[in-house]
């Protein structure tokens, strides 16, 4: 039996407007910043995939090792018949959950419609008893519009939540709580605070893949918004912020220069050395994230770490 797959899009003209408004605010603010979603065009997604296999980037391997060991217990504790993955990205960790849950339905929420169509088709073929629904949308905007019904496990893996600053994180977690029905569960992957040298190495890999990934955002803005960023006129830098407990990634202008963004009617003057933040990657403590979840109306039922204690999976439900 094969129940096949479907791909739907939630993106509206209003969302596009909001996205561009956020981009404008970030580019003209002091200091300048971009939203991480602009990093993920086809090439960006491919480069990120490469990052997950770098020797310095322990996050993906650590999370996968937890899922290998504990997915069966997660399945037993949640009793979920529907798996909803937010920001699905690479699907190998998804497979570990699908194998353990054998759900009736799998819903993948992702930005890129083309990547969704590809992965949905492949998963539908591999899991013929599971209905696969690819939803093109943004986890920051579309949680309330996801298919409901059944007993759902919402999974947000990979420490993607680390990209959100504390106010956006609080808002996102409240949206998750609102989206959950009684009996639903939320599975969150978080990278844990550790020695800064190891954290920094994960974002300053020797092969320069992270640098290429971050610089790629300028090509995305050039192509999608008609901007004229010269990627060779910027350098990539990562630093650990001990107060915020996050890695801050930015592109620094190598000279005084002016960049035009006709789609936003902007002309931006960059001074030599001026940074533009591309991402933060917040690191967590189990007690801290449990408190944030609680403030959003979510209670932790269990958490697991990998053997080295580098990464955690946290399971929560509505209080």
Task: Name the site residues for ligand AVJ (rule: CB under 6 A).
Answer: 51, 59, 158-160, 162-163, 203, 210, 213, 279, 281
Query: Is 130 or 163 the residue whose CB approaches ligand AVJ more closely?
Result: 163
Shortest Cβ 189–ligand AVJ spacing (Å): 9
Shortest Cβ 197–ligand AVJ spacing (Å): 16
Nearest Cα neighbor of 269 from 258, 280, 254, 285 is 258
CB 147 within 8 A of CB 131: no
Query: Is 72 or 193 the residue whose CB approaches ligand AVJ more closely?
Result: 193
Shortest Cβ 203–ligand AVJ spacing (Å): 5
Placement of tokens 């931006």 in the chain = 268
Looking at beta carbons, which residue is closest to ligand AVJ? 281
Shortest Cβ 20–ligand AVJ spacing (Å): 22
Q: How far is CA 158 from CA 131, 213, 218, in A?
A: 24, 17, 24
Q: How far apart are the first and last CA of the chain?
A: 38
Shortest Cβ 113–ligand AVJ spacing (Å): 19
Query: Is 237 or 263 the residue whose CB approaches ligand AVJ more closely?
Result: 237
Other CB atoms within 10 A of residue 56 CB? 17
Query: Is 93 or 105 the residue whose CB approaches ligand AVJ more closely?
Result: 93
Query: Is 6 or 56 the residue whose CB approaches ligand AVJ more closely?
Result: 56
**Residue 116 exposed, middle or buried by CB count within 10 Å (0-12, 13-18, 19+):** buried
Query: CA 241 to CA 79: how far, in whole Å?
Result: 39
């Amino acid at each position: 039996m094969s129940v096949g797959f479907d791909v739907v899009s939630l993106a509206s003209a209003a969302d596009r407007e909001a996205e561009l408004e956020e981009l404008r605010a970030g580019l003209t603010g002091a200091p300048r910043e971009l939203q991480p979603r602009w990093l993920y065009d086809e090439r960006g997604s491919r480069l990120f995939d490469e990052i997950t296999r770098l020797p310095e980037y322990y996050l993906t391997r650590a999370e996968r090792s937890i899922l290998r060991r504990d997915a069966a217990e997660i399945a037993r504790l949640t009793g979920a018949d529907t798996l909803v993955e937010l920001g699905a990205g690479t699907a190998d960790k998804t497979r570990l959950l699908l194998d353990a849950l054998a759900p009736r339905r799998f819903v993948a929420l992702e930005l890129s419609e083309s990547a969704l169509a590809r992965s949905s088709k492949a998963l539908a073929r591999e899991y013929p008893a599971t209905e696969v629904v690819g939803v093109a949308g943004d986890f920051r905007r579309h949680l309330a519009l996801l298919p409901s019904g059944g007993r759902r496990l919402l999974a947000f893996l990979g420490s993607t939540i680390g990209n959100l600053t504390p106010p956006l994180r609080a808002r996102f977690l409240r949206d998750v709580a609102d989206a959950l029905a009684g009996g639903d569960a939320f599975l969150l992957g978080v990278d844990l605070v550790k020695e800064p040298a190891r954290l920094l190495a994960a974002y300053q890999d020797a092969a320069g893949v992270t640098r290429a990934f971050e610089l790629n955002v300028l090509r995305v803005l050039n192509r999608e918004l008609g901007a004229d960023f010269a990627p060779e006129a910027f350098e990539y830098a990562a630093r650990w912020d001990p107060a915020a407990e996050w890695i801050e990634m930015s592109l620094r202008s190598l000279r005084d220069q002016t960049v035009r963004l006709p789609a936003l009617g902007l002309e931006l003057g960059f001074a030599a050395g001026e940074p533009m933040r591309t991402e933060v990657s917040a690191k967590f403590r189990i007690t801290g994230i449990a408190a944030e979840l609680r403030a959003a109306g979510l209670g932790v039922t269990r958490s697991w770490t990998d053997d080295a204690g580098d990464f955690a999976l946290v399971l929560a439900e509505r209080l």
